[in-house]
Amino acid sequence: MTAREDGGALAGLKVIDLSRVLGGPYCAQMLADHGADVIKVEPPQGDETRGWGPPFDAEGISAYFAGINRNKRTIALDLTRPRARDVLLTLLASADVLIENFKTGTMEKWGLGYTETLARKFPRLIHARVTGFGADGPMGGYPGYDAMVQAWAGLVSVNGAPESGPVRIGVPVVDLATGMNACMGILMALYERSLSGKGQFIDATLYDSAVALHQPHAPNYFMGGLKPQLFGNSHGNLAPYANFPTRGRNIVVGAGNDAQFRKLTQLLGKPELADDPRFRTNKDRIANKPALEAELRVLTAERDGERFATELMTNGVPSGAVLEVPDVMEHPHTRHRGMVWEKDGYRNVGNPVKLSRTPPQVRSKPRTFGHDTRAVLKEHGFADADIEAMISEGIALVEARKA
């Protein structure tokens, strides 16, 4: 096995991660899981998610922070100070990638803008910026948090049921999607750099990522002028595709074609439904969806949900028991897929991107604030006396500064 195979597909790649909260750190963790050397540079008060708890582990690290900051070395610099920005430039001199999510204009104010400074000093550097809405345009420069962007980008408006009204999606899907998009952009830029020898700037925004998630709502609007309705656990283009009650857990059933619908009716003991003129084709079933779902609810009500969902899947009908998070994390298939990682008391969700020769892995658990400040600075040529002077002056930090 080569060193790269042992260390991951991105072994040898150096990433400076200035980002905080979720989208940027998630992007950096994706790279770190696959072997990149990620140095997380925190502000003097630390990444704010360090305080987003409980729960906290024995070292005081919040679960929220731990979920998106493994496999990184952690240092702290006060980048409002010119000396700290000089230190950052020293780190960037040997880096491949910079990730940041500062408020628009901050890097430029510090003399660290991509076009004016970084691209000239480090022409091979790939600079990925994660922001809420981008730097320009009618909403350019506005701050972005997941729930607010879900609202502005129309995701809240399509989630929920008529009785509930619009509802925020229950996971930070916009932040996570933006982190993934930034990660894809970095990998694309790295490939292009292998041909051109040049780095480039990557502009990843929460707003763009949220708008891009509108499948099938955007195509329905562009083709048919349709405004999405609130369907709850149902679907606007496909039936049956809904949540049904059972004696145990509810189940979601999605018969995506006529053959699957016929098999569903057979397994429910009422095959004649497949020949009912109201339900013969998907177009018919959409036109008569309330009647269809009422029929199916009666037939599923006395079934054992998890067992029947498995029976449907075994017979080629897409279905899922509505499991809760603890059920999923302890599920044997979750374990089989390697989606729970454990190391030195750390336990969290694994990386979903599987490579056959160079699989991702957990190399180090999330670290305490400033854990690697001294070691990283020494590695980059700073003398011990200089390091201690910077720490005493608050330019570099090993303990978080109280707000």
Which residues are annotated as catalytic? 175
b/e map of 190-208 (b: 16 or more CB within 10 Å)? beebeeeeebbbbebbbbb
User: Could you tell me which of 180, 242, 173, 162 has the C-alpha nearest to residue 210?
Assistant: 173
* Cα gap 350→71, rounded to integer Å: 12
296 Cβ neighbours under 8 A, 6+ residues apart? 240, 242, 244, 253, 268
**Contact between 154 and 71 (Cβ < 8 Å):** no
Q: What SS3 state is found at 276?
A: coil
Distances (CA, A) of 245 to 145, 248, 271, 272: 35, 8, 20, 21
Q: Are 246 and 305 in contact (CB under 8 A)?
A: yes
Yes or no: say if 99 and 130 are a contact pair by the CB < 8 Å rule: yes
In this structure, what token pair is assigned to residue 312? 């449907």
